[in-house]
Amino acid sequence: MSELPEWMYAPRVEGWFADDLDHLPQAPRHTELIDGALVFMMSPQRSWHSRAVTGLTAILEELVPEGFLAEREMTIKLDARNRPEPDLVVATTDYDPDRTYFAAADVALVVEVVSPESAHRDRGVKLQKYAEAGIPHYWVIEEEEGLPVVHAFELERPVRAYAPAGIFRKRLERPVPFPLDIDLDALVPAPGAKRAAD
């Protein structure tokens, strides 16, 4: 049995803290912190996942009003022991080229595109943690017959839990966190689509 590299051992009995992620240059690129434990995204990313995230990022960058920004694959500091990295974040803060995370209080919307290895975290663990941190809107995007389906959740503030706000196929129209009208089928190429000839 091979021994773990020294940097993978938590620096204290309580485990890792959110600020520790900024001091782990050896960690793989998409490393999250959940309940004080490091979580590595080790499986190869599927093209469908990448296209869905890229397509939605581009659309949201066009739709966000002044005072909001959309950014992909940036961690959110939920508390001292949780710093997940969602696929996409919409925040109410200015652009900062040196930013390594968003504060939960600045996040208006979190989007997770479900992969087989992230399904449990995206549908359950993160659903609970984002709600407890007070993030108002959460979307979980699933693949259904090659096309994206958005499960939207809205925060019930008094109980810090999400209520289902709709399941969207083909088109997502929502008035919050700002007016949204998104052609979901345009996020990814149709199954079996070929590249257009030059």
156 touches 140 (CB < 8 A): no
Angstrom distances, CA of residue 60 to CA of 28, 89, 100: 27, 10, 20
Global pTM? Answer: 0.91
d(CA 57, CA 63) in angstroms, rounded, equals: 10
* Dihedrals phi, psi of 20, to nearest 5 degrees: -65, -30
Question: pLDDT digits over 135-180, tens only?
Answer: 999 999 999 999 999 999 999 999 999 999 999 999 999 999 999 9
Q: Are residues 15 and 87 in the same domain?
A: no
Instruction: Give the CATH number, domain containing residue 114.
Output: 3.90.1570.10
Q: What pLDDT does residue 3 have?
A: 81
Q: Are residues 73 and 28 in the same domain?
A: no
Question: pLDDT digits over 61-114, tens only?
Answer: 999 999 999 999 999 999 999 999 999 999 999 999 999 999 999 999 999 999
In a domain, 6, yes or no: no
Band (4; pLDDT cuts 50, 70, 90): confident
Q: What pLDDT does residue 7 have?
A: 84
In a domain, 191, yes or no: no
Band (17; pLDDT cuts 50, 70, 90): very high
Q: Are residues 121 and 27 in the same domain?
A: no
Domain region containing 30: 11-40
Q: What pLDDT does residue 43 have?
A: 67
Please name the amino acid found at residue 191.
Answer: P
Q: What pLDDT does residue 26 have?
A: 87
Indicate the range of 39-43, 138-142, 193-197 predicted with least confidence.
193-197
Three-class SS of residue 46? coil
